[in-house]
Amino acid sequence: MQDSNTFHFLLLPSSSEGFKAHETHDHCLEELERKKEALLDEDPNVNLDGLLPVCDIQEELQKVPS
């Protein structure tokens, strides 16, 4: 039984770090939408290539210590 509790304790930091990665990704997507709307309001014909942040959940998850 004690081994099981230790196992869960060891998983919690990874889970919280994974949650933080998802939160960071969600924040990035929100920022992307705000910037996109602002740029399109300023110029509806603007080329958005390279002007918006890249939101990569895999990159965020790779930062999580294993």
Q: Domain extents for the chain?
A: 2-62
Distance CA 26, CA 28 (A): 5
Q: Which residues contact 53 (CB under 8 A, 6 or more apart)?
A: 28, 31, 32, 35
Closest CA to 28 of 63, 64, 55: 55
Each residue's pLDDT tens digit in the chain (66 positions)?
445 444 444 444 467 888 888 899 999 999 999 999 999 999 999 999 999 989 998 888 888 776
Residue 14: the pLDDT is 64
Residue 18: the pLDDT is 80
